[in-house]
Amino acid sequence: MTTIRVACLLAVALASSACSRASLDLDPAVIPSCKPGHSEVVDVRWDARATGTERVAIDVLRPGSGAKQWMTGPASGHRRTGKWGNDGLTFVLRDDDGRELARRTIETLPCPDAED
């Protein structure tokens, strides 16, 4: 098998798994680090209808711990967290067979200088 053909096959395999046609959005997705330990309410929106799944699950992962199921629901929707969204918290959207469709992680940016 030629190198070009292997590269093409790999590109197709990666595209089909990476382009799941599902979206997962967090608002806010970036939180300023002005207050250590600061947490936010996060609006989580998802849409997996184009994948053909009817129901989804969203897991949350905290750095250093395993996944916990946060919610299950229809293929498209939104839900707000409590005031527990902070740096490194990851949301994982899964279809009704448990396959990962999308993943988003909250990030923290340095606090803007008061002089700016």
Residue 69: the pLDDT is: 97
CA neighbor of 25 nearest in space, from 46, 49, 41, 56? 46
Residue 114: the pLDDT is: 52
DSSP string, 46-113: EE-GGGT-SEEEEEEE-TTS-EEEEEEEESEEEEEEEEEE-TT-EEEEE-TTS-EEEEEE-EEEPPPP
Residue 38: the pLDDT is: 79
Assessment of whether the complete model's pTM goes beyond 0.85: no
Residue 96: the pLDDT is: 93
75, 28 Cβ separation under 8 angstroms: no
Residue 20: the pLDDT is: 58
81, 44 Cβ separation under 8 angstroms: yes
Tens of pLDDT along the chain (116 residues)? 444 433 333 333 444 444 459 999 999 999 887 766 778 999 999 999 999 999 999 999 998 888 999 999 999 999 999 999 988 999 999 999 999 999 999 998 887 765 54
C-alpha distances (whole Å) from 39 to each of 34, 51, 60, 97, 108 are: 11, 32, 15, 32, 10
Q: What CATH superfamily classification does 21-109 receive?
A: Immunoglobulins (2.60.40.10)
